[in-house]
Each structure stands twice: as C-alpha cells, then as structure tokens.
Amino acid sequence: MTHDTHDATGTADATGGSEGYDRYDGCDTCDTYDTSDTSDTHDTYDVYAFDFDGTLADTADVNTGAVQASLAAHGITVTPAWLNAEPSFTAGQLRRRLALPATALPEDTFVQEARAYWFAHTDRIKPIAAAAGAARTAAGHAALAVVSANYSDIVRHGLEVIGLDDLPWTVVGRDDVARPKPAPDAYLHAARLLGTAPARCLAHEDTDEGITAATRAGMRVIDVRRQPWR
C-alpha cells in the first residue's frame, strides 16, 4: 500500500456511521444542572448512566493515537486534524473516508492494532473531575452504569486508570450489543441489567450519537457539552 498523508480536507462519510437514525439536532429532552452543586442530585432517577470517552474520561489523545498507529501499520498516515474533522473509529468508517476497497484494513486487524496501542498508552487518559464528582454523588442513592461505544474491557481498565473502579458500575460496551451507538441497544441493555425502566435512567453524553442512542432508548440526557463539565 502506498504511504499517503491526509489532512482535514479528506472526503467524509456524511452519515458518520449513523444510518437509520436521526442525528441529534438540539436536545429538547436534555437536562441541565450545576455540576458543582452536590445538592442537585436528580434523585428521581434510579440509574445514572455515563458515557466513558469524553464524559467520564478525556481519552481523545490515546484514541486518536490508536487510530493513527493502526493506520500507520498499513502504510497510511492521517493527521489529528483530519480525524477530528469527522471522528472515525471503526475500520468501515475509515475505509469510506479514505476511499479504500472493502478488502483493505480488515476490522479484526484494525481493532487488534488499535487495542494494543491503547493499552500501552493508558497514562494519557485523564479523569474529567466534574463527571467523577457527579458519579460519586449519584452512587449514594442510585445505581451506576457506563454505556460506551468502546469495548467493555477497555472501559473497565479505563475506570481503574482514572480512579473510579471502586464504584459499583454496570458496564455495557460495544461488544455487549449487536448495534452500537447511535442505536439505543446499549442503553436498553443497561436498563435491563439493572431492572429499571429507561424513563427512570439519566444518561450523560458528550456526542450527538450518544445523545441519539439515549433519547431513542427513552432516557433523559445530560448533554455535558452544555455544562461547566471541564
């Protein structure tokens, strides 16, 4: 394979892997609250569900590095700006954006290479303090779940890295459901595991796909991008 360099002008897949789901366009059902006020606990909810990447933990650096490393193993170089222009973290998304044939960049190989990089660079993962505080406050009166588009073992290890593994999490990753976000499957699965109706769950998300997944599952959502979350 030739060694190509791509910048932010690369061709993008307009669906972003969200075929069949309306993209988030302003969240009328999103809640807001002051994350510094521990008295505001939304105790009408039985479950507090948190996305991992970008909500509980700042993983942008390690995730970008993992994709770059996996592509580099196949002779392809992309810049962080190109990846950030339209985040693409599956082999299929990357093949579409890079106009690669279906036989290029096998999913299993891509995942193995990206995972190897991720586990070797967990020192780059940083906790997001406000989310950690919200989770610890919620743990006093509600069940906790992490609902992620990442793999469940990565999430569990990430919780350990950021010092939240002492909390009683139910973890649902992309490997636990047939369809990852923006499909509602992961959030619905978390509610089933915890024996709770989706309407009694409060989700915390930082992406359009995640908000789409949670709202389609019938949950209310905290859009952490609208909070003093960082």
Q: Is the pLDDT of residue 227 over 70?
A: no
- Kindly indicate the confidence band of residue 46, based on its pLDDT and cuts at 50, 70 and 90: very high
**pTM (2 d.p.):** 0.81
User: Rounded to whole angstroms, how far apart are CA atoms 111 and 124?
Assistant: 19
Q: Which helix (H) or strand (E) holds 127?
A: strand 126-127
pLDDT confidence of residue 157: 97
Please report which residue ranges of the chain form alpha helices under DSSP H. Answer: 60-72, 80-85, 91-98, 107-120, 129-138, 152-161, 185-193, 208-216
Please report, for residues 114, 200, 210, the alpha-carbon distance to residue 2 in angstroms, rounded to integers and kept in the order given. Answer: 20, 52, 35
Q: Find out whether 51 and 205 touch, Cβ atoms under 8 Å.
A: yes
Compute the average pLDDT of residues 61-70. 94
Percent of the chain with pLDDT over 90: 73
Token pair for 208 = 């359009």
Q: Is the peptide bond before 182 cis (omega within 30 degrees of 0)?
A: yes
User: Rounded to whole angstroms, how far apart are CA atoms 100 and 216?
Assistant: 32
pLDDT confidence of residue 229: 56
- Kindly indicate the confidence band of residue 11, based on its pLDDT and cuts at 50, 70 and 90: very low
Say which amino acid occupies 75.
G
